[in-house]
């Protein structure tokens, strides 16, 4: 008996041509699911149209989350929705984020309810970007949830994260799901919308839902054309073009990195267990790595010894430190398998097979400054 006949569950993976969605698709197909991909092939991400990694054993439907008929048709005969489609990164738009992420998700939920579709579960891609700042430890007050750092402070070149009660400098600690959510960028705000819409709708409709708050995710297939998102992809394309990776602030800010196959496994787990139903769940490595160190690891792995460049710039609303507190996911059986060194190696193996590795960042940089996404420290 093949897997196909053993499982037979039907999944819709929105954004299934993208980084995370395509790896979820591959995993589900291997596990014997019937998979339909729904993706509009966003030109920023898919410069050459449909990518070659779209799984041939899945059904591919080109369509847009903003189109009610298209998403309605794609949702027919689906048991589980993995909702990955989103407009992401630090792009200058405002309306498009709200349109694709917030309205697109609202519309999908409304269609399921209005048409009484037999969807049994929705797993939505949320993000660590829903937090305002990573949790901190204050010498006086213990675990605290600092506010986003004021722009005036950043403009003065002061990157410190302070205790919201006594203003003392805090030490970064893993952020639990109970930390306040807000979203300090337009993207972050719309990820909050997506996860809240899905979780509260699920409670109303009596359909189990899970919101996975992914940490920075990377790996083979991460777009090499999009200069606005994916720090590892951007650093790689810069170095391969003999240009220095550009690091904001002082490079000592930390992020938690997840290899894309681990994120795909977390999705399968969320679909199969009921332990996470109704909850937001951090998915990450549980380790914070300074951004400058990431640049160094990539430059070492590539054998291109160009140090990262710090230009006295910062992005308002950006967190200083974020490490995912992963107890909830681990208690349900989540165990990341690929560490950063191995993951970077696997990404580089893939990028070497790509023919069009250009630098799109230089041009984007000028735009990001002009639109106020990137600011400079006052001289």
Ligand X SMILES: NC(=O)c1ccc[n+]([C@@H]2O[C@H](COP(=O)([O-])OP(=O)(O)OC[C@H]3O[C@@H](n4cnc5c(N)ncnc54)[C@H](O)[C@@H]3O)[C@@H](O)[C@H]2O)c1
Residue 127 sits in the site that holds ligand X (CB under 6 A): yes
Q: Which of 163, 186, 197, 260 binds Zn ion (CB under 5 A)?
A: 163
User: Under the criterion CB under 6 A, does residue 86 sit at the interface with ligand X?
Assistant: yes
Region near ligand X per CB under 6 A, out of 35-43, 264-272, 286-294, 363-371: 35-43
- The answer to the question of residue 169 lying near Zn ion (CB under 5 A) is no
| 209, interface contact from Zn ion, ligand X, none, CB < 5-8 Å by kind | none
- Residue 141 lies near Zn ion (rule: CB under 5 A): yes
CB atoms within 10 A of CB 32: 15
- CA–CA distance, 101 with 93 (Å, rounded to integer): 12
Interface with ligand X includes 59 (CB under 6 A)? no
138 scored as a contact of Zn ion (CB under 5 A): yes
- Contact range with Zn ion by CB under 5 A, out of 76-84, 164-172, 258-266, 324-332: 164-172
214 binds ligand X per the rule CB under 6 A = yes
Stretch that binds ligand X, among 63-71, 265-273, 316-324, 345-353 (CB under 6 A): 63-71
Distance, CA of 199 to CA of 205 (rounded, Å) = 10
- CA separation (Å) from 254 to 95, 133, 169, 171, 275? 29, 11, 16, 12, 30
Residues numbered 8-27 forming contacts with ligand X, rule: CB under 6 A:
15, 17-21
Residue nearest to Zn ion (CB): 163
Stretch of residues binding ligand X (CB under 6 A), selected from 3-11, 85-93, 322-330, 338-346: 85-93
Least Å distance, CB 140 to ligand X, is 33
Residues 6+ apart with CB under 8 A from 132: 145, 146, 147, 148, 180, 181, 182, 183, 184, 319
> Min. distance of Cβ 143 from Zn ion in angstroms?
10
96 contributes a contact to ligand X by CB under 6 A: no
Question: CB under 5 A: which stretch of 130-138, 192-200, 250-258, 346-354 binds Zn ion?
Answer: 130-138
User: How many residues bind to ligand X according to rule CB under 6 A?
Assistant: 28
Give dist(CA 137, CA 134) in Å, integer. Answer: 10
> CA end-to-end span of the chain, whole Å?
69
Alpha-carbon distances of 166 from 132, 161, 170, 254, rounded to whole Å: 18, 12, 10, 23
**Residues 224 and 156: beta-carbon distance below 8 Å:** no
Shortest Cβ distance from residue 14 to ligand X (Å)?
6
155 binds ligand X (CB under 6 A): no
Chain residues in the site for Zn ion (CB under 5 A): 138, 140-141, 163, 165-166, 168
């Amino acid at each position: 008996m093949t897997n196909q006949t053993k499982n037979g569950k039907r999944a819709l993976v929105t954004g299934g041509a993208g980084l995370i969605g395509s790896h979820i698709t591959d995993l589900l197909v291997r596990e014997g699911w019937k998979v339909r991909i729904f993706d509009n092939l966003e030109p920023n991400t898919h410069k050459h149209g449909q990518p070659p990694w779209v799984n041939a054993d899945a059904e591919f439907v080109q369509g847009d989350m903003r189109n009610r008929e298209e998403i309605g048709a794609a949702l027919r005969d689906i048991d589980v929705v993995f909702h990955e489609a989103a407009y992401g990164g630090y792009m200058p738009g405002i309306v498009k984020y709200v349109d694709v992420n917030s309205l697109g998700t609202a519309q999908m939920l409304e269609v399921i309810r209005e048409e009484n579709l037999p969807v049994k579960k929705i797993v939505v891609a949320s993000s660590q970007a829903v937090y305002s700042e990573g949790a901190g430890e204050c010498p006086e007050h213990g675990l605290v949830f600092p506010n986003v750092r004021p722009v005036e402070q950043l403009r003065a070149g002061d990157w410190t994260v302070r205790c919201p009660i006594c203003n003392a400098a805090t030490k970064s600690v893993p952020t639990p799901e109970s930390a306040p959510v807000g979203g300090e960028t337009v993207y972050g705000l719309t990820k909050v919308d997506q996860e809240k819409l899905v979780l509260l709708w699920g409670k109303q409709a009596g359909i189990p839902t899970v919101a996975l708050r992914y940490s920075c995710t990377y790996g083979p297939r991460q777009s090499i054309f999009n200069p606005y998102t994916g720090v590892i992809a951007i650093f790689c394309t810069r170095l391969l073009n003999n240009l220095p990776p550009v690091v904001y602030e002082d490079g000592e800010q930390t992020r938690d990195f997840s290899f894309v196959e681990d994120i795909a496994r977390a999705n399968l787990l969320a679909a199969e267990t009921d332990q996470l139903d109704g909850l937001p769940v951090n998915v990450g490595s549980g380790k914070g790595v300074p951004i400058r160190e990431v640049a160094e690891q990539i430059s070492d792995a590539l054998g291109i010894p160009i140090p990262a460049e710090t230009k006295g710039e910062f992005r308002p609303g950006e967190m200083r430190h974020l490490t995912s507190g992963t107890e909830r996911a681990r208690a349900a059986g989540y165990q990341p398998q690929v560490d950063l060194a191995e993951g970077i190696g696997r990404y580089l193996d893939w990028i070497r097979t790509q023919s069009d590795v250009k630098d799109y960042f230089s041009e984007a940089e000028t735009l990001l400054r002009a639109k106020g996404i990137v600011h400079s420290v006052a001289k």
